[in-house]
Structures are given as C-alpha cells and as structure tokens.
Chain A
Amino acid sequence: MTMQYTMEIGGRVRQVAVRRTSHGFIVSIDGRESNVDAVRVDANTWSLIVEGVSREVIVTSGRNGSSIVDVGSIPIAVSLNGRRHWSGKDSVEAAGPQRVAAPMPGKIVRVLVRPGDAVRARQPIVVIEAMKMENELRAARDGAVAEVNVVEGQSVEAGALLAVIAGSE
C-alpha cells in the first residue's frame, strides 16, 4: 500500500509517497525514489539509512500541529497535508505595520515610545526583562508608533503584542 502526503518544508510544498517493502520503505519525494531502512530508537529518535547514508533525526511536535525534525543540529519545520506552517520566529514582513511582540515571557521594564512618535529603524521600542537580562526590542524599519499595548512593570507572555508601528509612507 502506498501512502501519499503533501508536506510544506521551508516554504515549499512537496509530494511524498511511502511504500513498504520487505526490508524497509521506498519513499518518493516529488517523484524521486529512495530506499530507506528506518528504525525508531526511542519516542523521538529515528535512525534512517537512506541509500546507504546513515542519518539520525529527532522528531518532536512543533506549533499548530507541525513536526520539528532535527537533522544534525538544524531544526526543520514540517507541516503535513497543508497544516499551517510556522516559521519559528517573529518575522517582520517587508511591508505593512510592524507588530512588536514579546519573544519570551518577561517583565516590561521600560516603554520608550508613545503612540504617534516617529521611530527610526533599530530604535529601541520596549525593554523586556527575562532571565535576569534586559533585552531591547527595536523597530525593524522607520515608521510611526500606532499602538502601545503595555505599561512599565507589566508581565507579559511570549507572543504578546507590545506595540504596532505603521510604515512611514
């Protein structure tokens, strides 16, 4: 029996098919086939021998139902059958408002801007304290502060929206 999957990895969609054989699997990725001998070592660890090349990978669950596969020390997010892909960091898009979010849980020690302030790229917006260090969160581009959602002394969770900066155009 052949199992068919659609996967998204690094922004690219791939068609993957798996077929069992008497001594392992034949896996085809976008039509290219490989012989794979696979053994699960423990709950997360797989030993794969792909056409004679030995690989050890660790599969753990990521956000939104995706899997994170560590190949060597490189974590690779894989989402299956069109599940939403999570990039792994708070990326700032090239256009549109910048959303300054807390990268980790912590305490807001300083708010350095007010709504309406013009800000320059790399200008510090908020200082958050976590793990005994003060970390400055900076603007990615020039713009104007549209929203400030926190006050000094407030504790925030990871991902909390701290401020929004509108583009300068």
Chain B
Amino acid sequence: MKKILIANRGEISVRIARACREMGLRSVAVFSECDRAALHVRYADEAYPIGPNAPGESYLRIDRILDAARRADADAVHPGYGFLAENVEFAAAVRDAGLTFIGPKPEIVRLMGSKTAARGAALAAGVPVVPGTGSPLPADASDAHIAKTAEAIGYPLLVKAVAGGGGKGMRTVECADDLASALRAARSEAGAAFGDPAVYFERRLVRPRHIEVQLLGDEHGTVAAFVERECSIQRRHQKIVEETPSPAVQPAVRRAITSAALAVARGVGYTNAGTIEFLLDERDRFFFLEMNTRLQVEHPITELVTGIDLVRWQIRIARGERLDLDPERLLTPLGHAIECRIYAEDPDNNFLPSPGRIAHLREPGGPGVRNDSGATAGAEVPIFYDPMISKLAAWGEDRATAVDRMRRALAEYHVAGIRTTLPFFAWLFEQDAFLRGQFHTTYVDDLLKQRGGRPFVEASAAAEEVAALAVAIQTALAPNAAGSPTENSRADAAKRWKAYARADGLRAGPA
C-alpha cells in the first residue's frame, strides 16, 4: 500500500492524511466545487474534483470517487465517517475495483448497517438489546397497525431510521397523538439523508447513558476492545461532548460491557475499526444499541487516554498486519480526555446553522489540547454539509484537570465572522451536574429547556467599552476604511498597510 484516497472532506480527511504522511504514504483528497480551497485539499499530496456541491453529486458519487482513485493510481480507499463510510455498495465497489477498503468487509457493513439485523447479531452473542420492533415498519402499514405496534412497545418510544446515524431520521414520541407526525418526519428525513425511508420503533429508556466501546479487529481473528467512551451529552440525539473513561462506569461494569462488545464483534467476524453503542441504565444494566462499522467522530479521546493511533492501526490492519496490542493496556486509561464538537451554529437562535466566511480564527493550543479542525481563516463554512468546524479535545491527569483545560481552551478559541457553539460549551462547563458527572442522554435538552432561551452571548458593560475603544482607535487610524476593515480591494489593502505602519510608528514613539 503506497497511496490512499480519502473519500471524505473536512477535519476527518485532514486527520487521515496526517496518518498517511506519518507512515510515508501518499494521500489523495477529493473535493466538490465549493471545497476547492478547503484545508483537506490543501493538506493532501494530491487532489481531484468530483463534482458539484450537493453531496449526492460529489461525496456520495461512488463512480466519481473510484474514477479519482484510478486517475491517482491509489491502491486503497479510506472512507472516514459519514458520506459513504457505511455504504455497502461503496465498500463492495472499492473491493471490486481491486483496491483495499480501509474498513470492514462489505458483508459486515451490510449486516451491522441494518439496525434490525445488528440487533439479531447482538442477541445471538447473548447481549441484551433495547425492547423494540426488531424489524422495519412496513411502508404500507395501516395507521391502526402502527398504533397497535407502538402501544405494544409502550411510550415514550423512539422512531428510528433503519439506515440511520447521527440522530438523523430519529424522533421521540411521548404519546399516541404525536405518533403520526413523528413518523412522517422521521421517514422524510431518513429518505433524504440515507436514501432509505424505512424506520422502526424502539422503547426509550428513562434517563439512560450512552456508553460505547471502540474495537479493532485484525484479519487473523484477533479483536481488541478499548476503555469505554461516555457520549450522553447530546442535543436532540446528536453527541456534542464525549469523554473517556465514563464517570459512571465502575471497573466491573467496564469488564462486562467490553466483554459484551467483544462477543458481538467476534460473533460476526469483525475486522478493522468499529464501535458498539450501548445504553446504560441507572441500575448498571446495559443494552446493545447499534454498531458503527467505521472510524468514530470521537476517536481522538480514546487515542489520548491509551496512546494508540487508531487511524494508523486501521491502515496497518488493512495491510494485513497483526494486532499485537496488550488488551490490559487498552482497558486501563491514562488520565481523562474530553471532546467538544464545535459547530457553526448559533446557540442564541435555536442552534440553527450559521454558515459563512470565517473572518478570523485563532485555535487553542498548549498542554493537553488537541484540535482536529477542517477550518481555516478566510474559508467558507458551506451550507451543503455538516456544520462542524472542529473537534476540540482536552486531556488531563484526571477528570477535573481535563475540565479545567477544556475551559481554558474554549476561552482561547476565537472564531469571528460566523456564530459557533463555543459560548454554549463555556456555559455547559460551569453546570453543576455536568461537573459532578451526573447526566443522561436528555440532560442537555432538559437543561436548555430550564434555561428558557436566556441568551448565551451577553456582553458585559466592560466588554462593550472595549469594543467601543477598538472601533474608535481603528477608525481614528484609518478613517476612510471605517466600518469595513476586512474589505479586500487593493485600495483598502494599501490603506490597511498604512494603518499598520502608523500603528507601529505610534508604538515606537511620537508620530
């Protein structure tokens, strides 16, 4: 293996290209029209256009991606997460083209990609699952049949997309009155996001935690499990903060849940990186939820507490190498790691996406901080894709230290030009129950409801005075550029340089 095509964009494409560079492999990026200047294109060794902006015309086009692989003479394909990462046809097409797919075999992607078949695999391995229909709801089912099925499982229940992931195509239903509209919304969203509108019902556990187990399996029958990740901090079913180890998981539960994950993975002959998600109730009972047959968004925190490079191992496993990691080491975390998913969303406008040009960016750094980013200053956050800007992770020798570091890193992180969820995280990291590690999957939704729309971004009188000072001084130094300090015209650039020179002169002594 000498050259890897990365069938993705943004931060994960950069992450994989970095692993390639460290391993002496060439990386090949692909890009849609609006991503021509994106970081992942600039970082990779080679880059090929694959079509217009809509994902369906570029990042989801198997033919164009394989064509790029041929043109680049790549010998392997890494799918990242999202887009085609769990698409059976893609995994099969890569194999059929004589290339190595860096992930599990297509048969396993198919089996575990169907949430209902995956439940069957878990049951076969003796692992409990959340009560539910276990099979997709027929598209032509009568209203009466649907109502009866829902009644049998009991409310509250979840409508979930069979092909789902990332909270898309999922709706909570509190009572029978809301069933029809939730079903319609979930089917429509699932159809749009995954090309498959099939949904099923599942009981919603009360105040559960979302706990997941990272796995690596080689092609020689060895499967290893890593210390659990805690992913209960979610907004509308989307993970927004992850940490490891879980503050709620005691060593005995860790043994049990990682053993269960290993049993499921071994039962299906799993290879490469994958993650099994569980719900953990308040009495330490856990239930299989689903398996993600790919690298997970939140993989960096596992890397931070185990020292293992998961992407490097994905590539090594795909090359046929043997997994020779000490299983005890993987279950014994060093310290604690937390990740925040920083989104281009406006927390003061119901977290609606806030796409646009990043006018200014300063990323945090220093001890224990890792920021996996796909954004750069001057770049657009396009409206066509997931609005995540970066994954900010903090490591500390214990949870309290990791929290302190995250707060410090959040304060260092400056993004101007678009709204981001940074102010929301700064607030979350002051909440009592969060700091005590006492939360569940709807904790953040409940907390936001209690907050009742009070703005996250509130300027103090002192901050307003600083803003006034800055504008007054900038205007005094460059009066003609007042109010448009970022315009790109030549005349303005010249004015800016004059302003620099003048500001410098002022600093050096009397003007």
A126 interface residue (CB < 8 Å to B) = no
- 5 A-B pairs besides A9-B467, A9-B468, A71-B467 with CB distance below 8 A are A40-B477, A43-B496, A46-B474, A59-B474, A75-B416
Asked if B484 and A89 sit within 8 Å, CB to CB, the answer is: no
A29 in contact with B469 (CB, 8 Å): yes
**Nearest chain B CB to A1 CB, angstrom units:** 9
Q: Which 9 A-B pairs have CB atoms at the shortest separation, nearest pair first?
A: A69-B467, A60-B359, A76-B467, A71-B463, A65-B483, A18-B476, A44-B360, A40-B503, A58-B416
Chain B residues within an 8 Å CB radius of A39:
503-504, 507
Q: Are B472 and A27 in contact (CB under 8 A)?
A: yes
What's the minimum C-beta distance from B72 to chain A, rounded to whole angstroms?
27
Q: In the assembly, what is the distance between CA of A100 and CA of B393, in Å?
A: 38
Cβ 8 A contact of A61, one of B355, B476, B487: B487
Residues on B with C-beta less than 8 A from A80 are 471, 475, 482-483
Whether B414 is near chain A, meaning CB under 8 Å from some CB there, is: yes
Contacts of A46 in B (CB 8 A): 470, 473-474
Residues of A within 8 A of B (CB): 3, 5, 7, 9-10, 12, 14, 16-18, 20, 22, 24-25, 27, 29, 34, 36-40, 43-46, 48, 50, 55-61, 65-76, 78-80, 83, 89-90, 103-106, 109-110, 127, 129-135
Interface 0/1 of B205-221, CB less than 8 Å to A: 00000000000000000
Find the B residue at minimum CB distance from A14: B468
Which residue among A3, A24, A43 has the maximum number of chain B CB atoms within 10 Å of its CB? Answer: A43
How many Å lie between the Cα of A45 and that of B474 in the bound state? 10
Q: Are B464 and A10 in contact (CB under 8 A)?
A: yes
Chain B 400-427 interface 0/1 with A at a Cβ cutoff of 8 Å (1 = within): 0000000000110111110100110010
Assess the B485–A43 pair: CB atoms within 8 A: yes
Q: Which of A45, A73, A134 contacts B413 (CB 8 A)?
A: A73
Closest to B82 in A: A132
Q: Which of B413, B464, B472, B504 lies at the interface centre, i.e. has the most chain A CB atoms within 10 A of its CB? A: B472
From known contacts A16-B472, A40-B499, A109-B188, infer whether A104 and B353 are also in contact, taking CB-CB under 8 Å: yes
B168, B426, B484, B507: the one within 8 Å of A73 (CB): B426
| Contacts A/B (CB < 8 Å), 24 sampled | A3-B479, A9-B459, A17-B472, A18-B476, A27-B472, A29-B469, A38-B473, A40-B499, A43-B485, A43-B486, A45-B360, A46-B470, A58-B359, A65-B484, A68-B416, A70-B416, A73-B426, A73-B457, A103-B346, A109-B192, A110-B188, A131-B385, A133-B168, A134-B192
B383 within 8 A of A: yes
> Do A57 and B467 have beta carbons less than 8 Å apart?
yes
Please give the distance in Å from A46's CB to the nearest CB on chain B. Answer: 5
On whether the beta carbons of B471 and A69 are closer than 8 Å, the reply is yes
Q: Which of B185, B419, B464 contacts A9 (CB 8 A)?
A: B464
**Distance, CA A17 to CA B353, complexed state (A):** 38
Q: Measured between alpha carbons, how far is A133 from B193 in the docked complex, in Å?
A: 8
CB neighbours of B465 from chain A (8 A): 29
Contact B423 A73 (CB under 8 A): yes
A78 contacts B467, C-beta separation under 8 Å:
yes
Question: Bound state CA distance, A5 and B483, in angstroms?
Answer: 13
Q: In whole Å, how far is B371's beta carbon from the nearest beta carbon of chain A?
A: 15
Residue B75 lies at the interface, judged by CB distance under 8 Å to chain A: no
Contact with A along B477-511 (1 / 0, CB 8 A): 10100111111000000001001100110110111
Closest Cβ of chain A to B350, distance in Å, is 8
Using known A-B contacts A45-B360, A73-B414, A131-B386, determine if residue A60 contacts B352 with beta carbons closer than 8 Å.
no
Indicate if the CB atoms of B386 and A74 lie closer than 8 Å: no
A74 touching B423 in the complex, CB below 8 Å, given contacts A39-B503, A80-B471, A132-B385 = yes
CB contacts (< 8 Å) of A56 on chain B: these are 414
Residue of A18, A34, A39 most packed against chain B (CB within 10 A): A18
* Chain A residues near B457 (CB-CB < 8 A): 73-75
Taking the closest CB of chain B, its distance from the CB of A155, in whole angstroms, is 11
The answer to whether B193 and A59 touch across the interface, beta carbons within 8 angstroms, is no
Query: In the complex the two chains form, is B468's CB within 8 Å of A7's CB?
Result: yes
Residues of chain B within 8 A (CB-CB) of A10 are 459, 464
Residues in A whose Cβ lies below 8 Å from that of B352: 103-104, 135
Question: Min CB distance, B32 to chain A, in Å?
Answer: 14
Q: Which residues from chain A contact B387 at a C-beta distance below 8 Å?
A: 131
Within 8 A of A (CB), among B420-479: 422-423, 426, 457-460, 463-477, 479
Interface positions of B from 344 to 403, Cβ below 8 Å from A: 346, 348-350, 352-355, 359-360, 362, 383-387
Separation of A29 and B477 alpha carbons in the complex (Å): 18
B196 within 8 A of A: no
